[in-house]
Chain A
């Protein structure tokens, strides 16, 4: 069974569209994250979410919004997509805020 799963794996869309990426973890972890990896492989944290506490990286545009229906899910919604949003987005989870992260396999987002 996949511990952290995210869908879709590939997402191709036009500028200006709104899209969502879903993430689910079956590890019973309390904390979930979204990371963005750019074309140079730099991995940047976007959000962490723990027991309804949301920590947002201040450089993330407010077009990006995480939504957590329950502890096992943290979806990423993106409004008004821009070319610069093209990247690989990774979901991850951990038991606590300072522990080991378990990553999903990533979503390759291409904005045309």
Chain B
């Protein structure tokens, strides 16, 4: 079954603004990971958050996890044009032990 559904599908903001993307999933998880994909390239890992963690930071990125709501959010602060990309959340469920994704959020940061 499909896991890691991102929302919104597309997001367009001005440079300097914050961008928030959400991810929902269906079953219990081991961990949740956020990835970035530039056009024509492979996915690049950003942050991994474990099921017993609630928040993690990495530079301008902040990830939260709410296991009771089966959801996560990725916040990019002070966005730059170079942040323009697709962002995917992947979840590893307790049983499947495979990272499953959705269709991503296409973020466009306008200069």
Interface residues of A (CB under 8 A from B): 4, 33, 35, 40-45, 48, 55, 90, 92, 94, 97-106
CB within 8 Å for A42 and B102 given contacts A98-B31, A98-B92, A100-B33: yes
Kindly state the interface size class of chain B when it binds its partner: 20 to 34
9 tightest Cβ-Cβ pairs between the two chains A and B: A103-B42, A43-B101, A97-B97, A42-B103, A103-B43, A100-B45, A105-B42, A41-B103, A98-B92
- 14 A-B residue pairs with CB within 8 Å: A33-B98, A41-B106, A42-B102, A43-B102, A45-B101, A48-B98, A55-B97, A55-B98, A90-B43, A94-B99, A101-B45, A105-B41, A106-B40, A106-B42
Interface residues of B (CB under 8 A from A): 30-31, 33, 35, 40-45, 48, 86, 88, 90, 92, 97-104, 106
Q: How many A-B residue pairs have CB under 8 A?
A: 61
